[in-house]
Structure 1
């Protein structure tokens, strides 16, 4: 998982980076000048998946307000040194998704980011089932017909974008931006195609039905979807109450 980290205080930054790396969260450090640029690009398809972790500084409320005014839907989490209910409430009202007090273990931060991300895509549960495929949003590898499918770190990041947008077409550019960052120039245009091919082969090999779950929609992108006639997305068996509520 990658995220953008705004922590200009050098004495705080490295310790935070070390803690994030311990949970396989890879921060891209940014400065105040980032937020003085064109933030409208954050609203482009694919960019909304990249979380922002912001230190609580005097300019942070303005930063959050500017991001939301520009249409950015990225998960935004604020880290503050001391509990301050009034300041936290203001930050949340401005558009932050979470307001946390340090020290914070990276494993908790990862789960909070996953929760915000999946809910922003309309997934309340920790997983979603598409035909024979069960995709998890908590970092676990997917399962096909009950069998775990081992994905590399990059394959997992790409599959996560397909799962978050299950039954919808997502463009190659959006996947690239979500996985590699906001790059207008893609150094290897076929890299997503290569990884999609590898993921597709692993899933198709394990699927008893032989259905090709990752569909290439020519000129538009890719879609993770069940076979025609199968039910669409379903909640995990552990949440029958939510299934009944959705059916009613």
Structure 2
């Protein structure tokens, strides 16, 4: 999973970057203005794959920024971090368009779980795993496995496989996959970088299966779909 973060609390931001990585979550830090201006331009299919996490200092007006983000057209899942929020203010932040608010002492395992829950809701899932034949894809950062045997894959490959699993049996446009990996980031590789990741991912699954099939099918001019390998 990849999330977009803005948090003026540098210690909290640094902790999120380090600790969420343990859960298979990549954190891209962006200025608030970049998020407000850029998130609204994302394709809706991309937006629901990119949760936005906004951190605020105690007493800062999170409601206004939340309204600004939603008014701009952003449909990204939105998690607000702000300690010691009075109950009435918390209710207003949720009503302004936030999907979740964490106002207690920061717990990284909890944050990771809440981010996974936000994504599950977007796709109507209730568990942290998707089964495609003998292939099990976990949504909580664990490596996938084939018939009980783990497949070690890179963070980018994990993101791609996770998105395909969330859309099991459906074609995912290559632009959606590319933007889920790189949208709003400073670094924008060539489009062929996606093909390289797909190729490596297929090879790893095929090698373990011994059947010459990864379950990842190419639809020329459209994208990719995951079926049972």
Q: Do the two structures share a fold, i.e. TM-score over 0.5?
A: yes
Q: C-alpha displacement at 1:36, in angstroms?
A: 5.1
SS in 2 for 1:204: helix
For residues 62 and 208 of structure 2, the distance between their equivalents in structure 1, rounded to whole angstroms, comes to 47
Q: Deviations over 1:65-102 (max 9, x none)?
A: 23334443322111112042211112112221111124
Pairing 1:147–2:149 present: yes
Partner of 1:201: 203
Q: After superposition, where does 1:1-248 map in structure 2 within 5 Å?
A: 1-8=1-8, 12-24=9-21, 25-34=25-34, 37=37, 39-56=39-56, 58-182=60-184, 186-207=188-209, 210-226=212-228
Q: Which runs of 5+ in 1 are unaligned?
A: 228-248
- Contact (CA 8 Å) 2:136, 2:144: kept in 1 or not? yes
Alignment coverage as a number of residue pairs: 224
For residues 93 and 221 of structure 2, the distance between their equivalents in structure 1, rounded to whole angstroms, comes to 41
Q: C-alpha displacement at 1:51, in angstroms?
A: 1.6
Q: Normalising to structure 1: TM-score of the pair?
A: 0.79
More displaced stretch, 54-63 vs 105-114: 54-63
For residues 148 and 36 of structure 2, the distance between their equivalents in structure 1, rounded to whole angstroms, comes to 48
SS in 2 for 1:205: helix
Q: What do you get for the CA RMSD once the two structures are aligned?
A: 2.5
Q: Which runs of 5+ in 2 are unaligned?
A: none
Q: C-alpha displacement at 1:195, in angstroms?
A: 0.8
For residues 35 and 179 of structure 1, the distance between their equivalents in structure 2, rounded to whole angstroms, comes to 16
Partner of 1:242: none
SS in 1 for 2:45: coil
More displaced stretch, 108-117 vs 206-215: 206-215
Q: C-alpha displacement at 1:212, in angstroms?
A: 3.7
- Contact (CA 8 Å) 1:42, 1:71: kept in 2 or not? no
SS in 2 for 1:37: helix
> Cα–Cα, structure 1 residues 20 and 146, in superposed 2: closer, same or farther, change >3 Å?
same
Q: For the pair shown, which has the larger CA radius of gyration, 1 or 2?
A: 1
For residues 62 and 199 of structure 2, the distance between their equivalents in structure 1, rounded to whole angstroms, comes to 42
More displaced stretch, 72-81 vs 179-188: 179-188
More displaced stretch, 75-84 vs 13-22: 13-22
For residues 42 and 64 of structure 1, the distance between their equivalents in structure 2, rounded to whole angstroms, comes to 17
Q: Normalising to structure 2: TM-score of the pair?
A: 0.85
- Contact (CA 8 Å) 1:126, 1:138: kept in 2 or not? yes
